[in-house]
Amino acid sequence: MLNWIWLGLVLVSIAYASLIPGRMAEVAGAIMGGASSAITLVIGLVGAMVFFLGLTRVAFDGGLRDWLGRVLAPLARRLFPEVPSDHPAMGAMVMNMSSNMMGLGNAATPFGLKAMAELARLNTMPGVATNAMVLFLAINTSAITLFPPFGTIAVRQAAGSADPWAIWVPTLIATTCSTLAAVTAYFLLARLPVFRARPLAHPPASSVELESDAEEEKTEAQPSEEPSGPLWVRRAVLAAFALTVLVGLGTEIARLAPELGAAGAIKEIVRDWLLPLLVAGLLLIGVSSGVRVYDSMIAGAREGLDVAVRIVPYMVAILVAVAMFRASGALDLMIGALDPYTSAVGVPAEVLPMALLRPLSGSGAFGVMSEIITTYGPDTFIGYLTCTLMGSTETTFYVLALYLGAAGVVDGRHALAACLIGDLGGFVGAVAACHWFFG
């Protein structure tokens, strides 16, 4: 699908520009300009991506994911009553969901594949998705992400945003709406006769392969061979830090309250203190568990650098194609046709290319988002909404193809419908949250 979308952008740009005198020169300039801006943008976001993925790895190694897994386990048992609580599928699903909540998509995928493979072992209708599979996919493609969308924030920072972190809470609201919509859709659609599970006339041969023990071990957090210090030292560091910050917080409130009032002081503190305290919190999770935080940080930073390098070809390809499409005038034509309808519901037509591409390709949507905020600015309403939409859902079609394939499923029943309704819920939630926060 992305192949045809990208090819269509390039060919339509050239064909449309050929009909307008003098426009081909602008398209030619957009080819080189788009490639150059893509590299410039990647260079700007590498630092932030490397740093924050490193911090996330510290918390990961410190046991935050395992803690989230224990918190989610009772909820998972209620959502998936047909899966025995001691079955490997339950543990894999919980680890997948907790990894997604931390924004660790790369760590979540191996657990998701293992969960689907284990669920296939419980399946009495080979090739047909079970209720547990459908619900797991609905949750996975719309997962609530508690951590900030570091990649998007890094792009906003590179684009010169005055407040790159402004989209964190709107994104959390959007992902919550997405998950609620997907789960609700799962329960409602399951009642329809058309989605009832039926045995296949010719079930496929089993293609389920579980990860080897060695591969599974790679997905687990690797504890330090040697703790970072005696327990009493770590506790003293935590206590001293907490006491110092509380004193500083009280002093800051006392300074700001007479001038701004209680509500204004809290808003000012949240804006200025949230990022530094997030950094400290992630590091202290590692310290409290005896993680050698510097070594863990470097390991995570290397992963962040790998991610940044991998997205360069996607960014160049998409940004050049979109720059050509914009320079040809075809994008203005499309926006002009859609704007009367989308503006009536509070959605600028300029964000639609990214919103439509998001379920198909994460890297493609990331590139389009970068191009949009470079063109319109990161701190405009279009920029805020585009960035929030980026984090509101997952790459639905890719996840469905990957996970259903891992389980050998050819009849996904209502999985696609539930996931797409989740995408729609995330879109509505993002629009509502951005209007609420940014007007």
Mean pLDDT of 95-124: 77
pTM over 0.95? The answer is no
- Among 38, 48, 97, residue whose Cα is nearest residue 69: 97
Domain assignment of residue 115, given as a range: 2-48+88-192+314-438
Whether 25 is in a domain gets the answer yes
Percent of the chain having pLDDT more than 90? 17
Phi then psi for 128, rounded to 5 degrees? -110, 130
**Contact in structure between 434 and 386 (CB atoms under 8 Å):** no
Whether 397 is in a domain gets the answer yes
Whether 377 is in a domain gets the answer yes
Q: Which residues are CB-contacts of 384 (< 8 A; sequence separation ≥ 6)?
A: 166, 167, 170, 378, 434, 437, 438
Whether 333 is in a domain gets the answer yes
Residue range 307-334, pLDDT digits in tens: 667 667 766 877 788 788 888 888 778 7
**Contact in structure between 53 and 150 (CB atoms under 8 Å):** yes
How far is the C-alpha of 103 from the C-alpha of 143, rounded, in Å? Answer: 9
- Residue 426 vs residue 200, higher pLDDT: 426
Residue 4 has pLDDT above 50, yes or no: yes
pLDDT category, 228, cuts 50, 70, 90? low
For the chain, give the mean pLDDT.
80
Whether 292 is in a domain gets the answer no
Residue 253 has, within 13 A of its CA and on its CB side, a CA count of: 10
pLDDT for 213: 36
Phi then psi for 411, rounded to 5 degrees? -115, 100
Mean pLDDT of 326-348: 82
Q: Which residues are CB-contacts of 79 (< 8 A; sequence separation ≥ 6)?
A: 135, 139
Buried/exposed code over 321-347 (b: 16+ C-beta within 10 A; e: otherwise): bbbbbbbbbbbeebbeeeeeebeeeeb
Whether 148 is in a domain gets the answer yes
Residue 224 has pLDDT above 80, yes or no: no
Number of domains present in the structure of the chain: 1
Whether 214 is in a domain gets the answer no
**Contact in structure between 219 and 110 (CB atoms under 8 Å):** yes
pLDDT for 221: 41
DSSP string of 158-190? HTT-S-GGGGHHHHHHHHHHHHHHHHHHHHHHT
- Residue 367 vs residue 311, higher pLDDT: 367
pLDDT for 286: 85
Whether 408 is in a domain gets the answer yes
